[in-house]
Amino acid sequence: MSPNVSHTTARYALQLGDDALVYAQRLGEWVSRAPQIEEDMALGNIGLDLLGQARVLLSHAGRLDGSDRSEDDLAYFRDEREFRNVHLVEQERGDFGFEMARLLWFASYQAELYAALVDSADETIAGVALKAVKEVDYHRDHATQWVLRLGDGTAESRARMQAALDRVAPYVAELFEDDAASLAATEVGVGVRPSSLWDNASSHVSHVASEATLTMPDQPTWRSRGGRDGIHSRPMGYLLAEMQHIARAHPGATW
């Protein structure tokens, strides 16, 4: 692999890994806080699936970029500006409806992403994709089941599910934006253009929303941007503080 392709692949794997890592951290917060213990487990499992994807992707990025950093180095010893995840995944945990709206969008995006990356020219990324396709299919189903029940449920659950879809809407465009790293990776056959995933992903979400008697939000008046360049929103610093402080207080500690 030429140094150029290595760096392009590393940069691409890094942002896919960061999306998965940061969302895994948010989903982990639900353990002990979900409506029932069964849902603690479900969201914890989904978070662990994402963490598994993140570990392989970040290890791969650390190997290819020449810095020889491990998955732990990348997760615990990078600062906010070096993380490349989208703003959607770093937003604070809201109510259960918000989480289901966020999961529905994120899993719909990832389902299309990994389905396309199965054919990646990079073996490791193709391998992650092949395994993740089945995992993500389940994540999307889980969110779908809940959006259907809450949307087509009581007046209260319907209002809150609609509010959640509206609240998530400004963060959706960033997922499907053709950022420089994705375009470069697509150029060398490793990645996929995020904009090419929009049609299928958004049609799944609209279909679920309409089945759930919800309205797809109008074009939001603002939208998030900057995550892929390391520009993050306010909650990101707090998330990293919680995720990183033990590793930084005891560098090199092992179980």
Q: Which residues bind another protein (CB under 8 A)?
A: 36-39, 41-42, 45, 141-142, 145, 149
Which of 154, 219 has the CB closer to another protein?
A: 154
In the complex, minimum distance from the CB of residue 152 to another protein, in angstroms, rounded to a whole number:
12
Task: Please list, in sequence order, all residues whose beta carbon lies within 8 angstroms of the beta carbon of residue 151, skipping any fewer than 6 positions away.
Answer: 157, 158, 161, 162, 209, 211, 212, 213, 214
Which of 145, 215 has the CB closer to another protein?
A: 145
Angle at 195 between CA 169 and CA 26, to 5 degrees: 45
What are the angstrom distances between the C-alpha of 157 and each of 16, 135, 208, 210?
A: 33, 27, 15, 15
In the complex, minimum distance from the CB of residue 213 to another protein, in angstroms, rounded to a whole number:
17
Round to whole Å and give the CA distance between 89 and 82. 16
Position of tokens 């959640």? Answer: 164
In the complex, minimum distance from the CB of residue 88 to another protein, in angstroms, rounded to a whole number:
24
Which of 101, 190 has the CB closer to another protein?
A: 101
Which of 157, 200 has the CB closer to another protein?
A: 157
Nearest to 13 by CA among 106, 128, 173, 179: 128
In the complex, minimum distance from the CB of residue 111 to another protein, in angstroms, rounded to a whole number:
17
